[in-house]
Structure 1
Amino acid sequence: MANDYFFCGIGGSGMLPLAMIVQAQGNRIEGSDRSRDQGRTPEKFAWLEAHGVTLHPQDGSGVTRPEQIVVATGAVEDTVPDIGAARRGGARIVTRPELLSQIFNAAPTSIGVAGTSGKSTITGMIAWILHQAGRDPTVMNGAVMKNFADADHPFASALIGGRDLFVSEVDESDGSIARYDPTVAVVSNISLDHKSMEELRDLFGGFTGRATTAVLNLDNAETAALAQQMVEAGRGDAVVTFALGNETADLSAHDLEPLPTGMKFQLTERASGTVLSANLPVPGAHNVANALAALAAVGAVGVPLEQAVAALQTFSGIRRRMELVGTASGVTVIDDFAHNPDKIAASLKTLHAFDGRLLVLFQPHGFGPLKLMKREFVDGFAGLLRADDVLLMPEPVYFGGTTDRSVGSEDIAAGVRAAGRAAEALPTREACGDRLIELARPGDRIVVMGARDDTLSQFAAELIERLRASAG
């Protein structure tokens, strides 16, 4: 029987794909979004309306019937007008993690992709391999999968397939990972991000403990410890490990060769002794590790290794993951989702495999993470920026509400300067854009980094246009 769903914040990177999956299962979808009310990313909301979604202002006016199921982000606050209207009208409220985990757990076979970094890329790789193998997966990702994006599906962060095989990115930052009971649990790495290490160990340990098969990274101390714990608990047969250059892992990569747009490497499967040459069309050693995680995950559901490796050779990547925006006046602009110390480190290491100064625009994704990881941000930029690189930071993303704003971008920039690297904090992103254009010279690469703000991609595209105009 079809249900009426109302998605509060339907344009969000986690909400839009879930709404599309729920709609594909035969339900009616309505929604609201503060970004739409503010006039941001209008093309996204036009696309939703063209695909049968009824949109309302986020003022409670769209929640009018007790039979509606109102889907909220993780935090259910009465201060959001739609939530208040739902409570007054007797509509049922579910959080996004509740709804997604219900659909995930209902699938006969499920693959959950977790970890501090790499989730969206691994999920996209798994999706493409399973699709190429004819397995008809339904996939929930937090980012646009470029293999599935086309003129009619520009926001392809979901893949609509059958109900028998469900693949989803799984989030630990809000604790919702505890809701998922996966057939295959993938954990790419575990490091400080939103929660304490003690909380993270407990959450990830439960996630892998509930799985039939756990895919774990031996290159990360925390995930390697998880693998050891499962062995000691008598569940060694349920563990599949991967690593770079470590032949004790079940899948390992060797002889990594960076290419301008990708990576070449030798892949070894320990059990069979199979050695394959692999070409990956996305750059960076971290993406080789992501590929190993994806290969192990699909292997656990029966996709032959050779077939999976062949599919990865046509993997197009994930939107905003080291995405080339364009080149103008000899300056290249790259759009990147990196927003925590691990992701930033992976991107900087990948970029520094090739010559050229980096002009890094990093927009923090909130005041809370900036305060929690102040030392890690400072140490990361100070340790990985080269002498001629420049870091520019506007203030963190802030869409209102109560939050501790005691640590801002200048605190990070000052720490990086104290370590002998060039860093500036400016009041606005527009001011940073002006400074980037002023600084840019042929051979430079401008990297736009940050999360939780769809307009960063638009900002990156505008930089290319400004560079072209300045050349003309």
Structure 2
Amino acid sequence: MANRKSCFFVGIGGSGMMPLSLILAKRGYRVAGSDRSLDQARLPAKFEALERRGIRLFPQDGSGITSPNQIVIASTAVEETVPDMVAATRMGAERMSRAEMLSRLFNESTMRIGVAGTSGKSTVTGMIGWILHAVGRDPTVMNGAVMKNFVAPDAPFASALVGEGDAFVSEVDESDGSIALYSPDVAVLNNVSLDHKSLEELRRLFGDFAAKAKTAVVNVGDAETAALAAGLNRENLFTFAVEGEADMVAENLSPEPFAIGFDLVTGGECRRVRLAVPGRHNVANALAAIGAAMAAGIPRDIAAEAVQGFAGLKRRFELVGEANGVAIIDDFGHNPDKIAATLDTLHEFPGRLLLMFQPHGYGPLKVMRRELVEMFAKKLKREDQLVLPDPVYQGGTVAREVTSADIVADIAATDADARYIPDRDSAAAHLVATARPGDRIVLMGARDDTLSQLAARMLDDLTS
């Protein structure tokens, strides 16, 4: 690729595309791109940040594809009928998926740390990145979420970090099967549960990924992951668990509303750790990150000390603010396990939950229908209220076999308080009007950064 350093990103504002474009730009590539959200004048601050990094932006009309020497990078969600893709074919430009480009950069690195699992990938990636940064390893980090520790006036969307050190830390995606492209030195596997693919496919993808690594850091506190670990070479395996049996264990958890403490135990040695992010799931995330750091040569206590400074990610149980006794929390929860972890964390403390869950697509609703319904029926308390608007839709063709109305009907049949309000703004207004002191309003969903803007507006509405 040394002679072809011009890349064009179709959908450059996406959570996986933007950080990759920033890494390439920092490494000296000429980077340009287009995005449907840019054409729709959505999230202008994100595109202004890209332009400040020297990245040229074009309408998504094919006008940015001007040379056969460009490498045109697109995610699997981009359709062949998009004008940029038509222009790339006409021009004869090389085409790569986001995962193909990322895996190439990853596999060329000296210390390759890949983070996999159905839930927690972005948080674990951020934690590992922060540990390596804190100890002076100057890593490159590819994340799907904004890492608060690295946010600065000139980097408001810090989902990537480009360092000069030997380590490349990246979350890897199983949803499109591209996890198979990565060859990690350290493979982190946090959990395995239903999301985009069948469990049979997930077991194969995650198992093959972990088997490639010199060290596989595996959460045996998760039943599916423990079953995969049983098939791995024990000499290459480092296990962890929350209140279980493993090489590294967390015990004596002490939850706080927006933090949690625990005893970190390895080889009979114990030290106390307090995270600045809440929930049992984040204890598991921290164990994964400490284990990965240890596999990269960082002593346990140094890694544990550093992880306490991890400030969290945007849209991961993020407190937007409080007004009139009501807290508003913005969260990325979009599959049964992620949402359940958020609800369990919130239910550790008193207060009614008013939830808005915006599904991240009609396809995932079809795949996860039964599991979503069962999870909400189990986790919602009698006083809680759940509202579902229509799934996020940003253009293109899509089959609408299962809708938000179908999910709500199934949940309501279990006697939980679930309501279908098609329009998202109307759903938000309903929750604001319903809220009373002591309530927590939680917005959940993926693939739509405007949810954070909506959360901020809801906070303003509570104060007016």
TM-score range (shorter-chain normalised) is over 0.9
Question: Where does 1:439-454 land on structure 2 (aligned, <5 Å)?
Answer: 439-454=434-449
Deviation at 1:453, TM superposition (A): 0.3
Q: 1:262 aligns with which of 259, 264, 277?
A: 259
Contact 2:192 2:224 (8 Å CA) reproduced? yes
CA distance in structure 2 between the partners assigned to 1:357 and 1:276 by the alignment: 35
TM-score by length of 2: 0.98
CA distance in structure 1 between the partners assigned to 2:143 and 2:77 by the alignment: 20
Deviation at 1:427, TM superposition (A): 1.4
Q: Which runs of 5+ in 2 are unaligned?
A: none
> Is 1:291 matched with 2:286?
yes
Contact 1:365 1:452 (8 Å CA) reproduced? yes
What amino acid sits opposite 1:245 in the alignment?
A: E
> Is 1:344 matched with 2:339?
yes
CA distance in structure 1 between the partners assigned to 2:251 and 2:80 by the alignment: 53
| Cα distance per residue 1:396-427 (max 9 Å; x no partner) | 11122222202111111112211111110011
CA distance in structure 2 between the partners assigned to 1:351 and 1:394 by the alignment: 22
> Is 1:390 matched with 2:392?
no
| Cα distance per residue 1:328-386 (max 9 Å; x no partner) | 11110000000000000000000000100000000000001111111111111111111
- Per the alignment, in what secondary structure is the counterpart of residue 343 of structure 2? helix
Question: Where does 1:310-349 land on structure 2 (aligned, <5 Å)?
Answer: 310-349=305-344
**Where does residue 364 of structure 2 map in the other structure?**
369
What amino acid sits opposite 2:352 in the alignment?
A: R
Deviation at 1:74, TM superposition (A): 2.3
> Is 1:99 matched with 2:101?
yes
| Cα distance per residue 1:62-118 (max 9 Å; x no partner) | 101111111111256320111110110111111100000000000011000000000
Distance 1:19 1:163, change over 3 A: farther
CA distance in structure 1 between the partners assigned to 2:235 and 2:274 by the alignment: 30
Q: 2:236 aligns with which of 232, 238, 243?
A: 238
CA distance in structure 2 between the partners assigned to 1:100 and 1:459 by the alignment: 31
| Cα distance per residue 1:154-195 (max 9 Å; x no partner) | 100001102621000000000000000000000100011111
| Cα distance per residue 1:406-462 (max 9 Å; x no partner) | 211111111221111111001110110121121011110000000000100000000
Contact 1:107 1:163 (8 Å CA) reproduced? no
Question: Where does 1:63-462 land on structure 2 (aligned, <5 Å)?
Answer: 63-75=65-77, 77-162=79-164, 164-230=166-232, 235-246=233-244, 248-270=245-267, 273-462=268-457
The Cα RMSD (Å) is 1.0
CA distance in structure 2 between the partners assigned to 1:129 and 1:78 by the alignment: 41
CA distance in structure 1 between the partners assigned to 2:278 and 2:142 by the alignment: 23
CA distance in structure 2 between the partners assigned to 1:444 and 1:266 by the alignment: 31
Q: Which runs of 5+ in 1 are unaligned?
A: none
CA distance in structure 1 between the partners assigned to 2:162 and 2:395 by the alignment: 34
What amino acid sits opposite 1:417 in the alignment?
A: A
| Cα distance per residue 1:259-288 (max 9 Å; x no partner) | 122111101013xx2111111110000000
CA distance in structure 2 between the partners assigned to 1:403 and 1:372 by the alignment: 14
Q: 1:37 aligns with which of 36, 39, 44?
A: 39
CA distance in structure 1 between the partners assigned to 2:80 and 2:165 by the alignment: 34
Contact 2:25 2:53 (8 Å CA) reproduced? no
Contact 1:335 1:460 (8 Å CA) reproduced? yes
Contact 1:189 1:223 (8 Å CA) reproduced? yes
Contact 1:75 1:95 (8 Å CA) reproduced? no
CA distance in structure 2 between the partners assigned to 1:299 and 1:222 by the alignment: 24
Percent identity over the alignment? 58
Q: 2:460 aligns with which of 450, 458, 465?
A: 465
Distance 1:393 1:223, change over 3 A: same
CA distance in structure 2 between the partners assigned to 1:302 and 1:383 by the alignment: 42
Deviation at 1:50, TM superposition (A): 1.5
CA distance in structure 2 between the partners assigned to 1:283 and 1:76 by the alignment: 36
**Where does residue 55 of structure 1 map in the other structure?**
57
**Where does residue 18 of structure 2 map in the other structure?**
16
Deviation at 1:9, TM superposition (A): 0.5
Distance 1:168 1:222, change over 3 A: same
CA distance in structure 2 between the partners assigned to 1:275 and 1:188 by the alignment: 22
Distance 1:163 1:84, change over 3 A: farther
TM-score by length of 1: 0.97
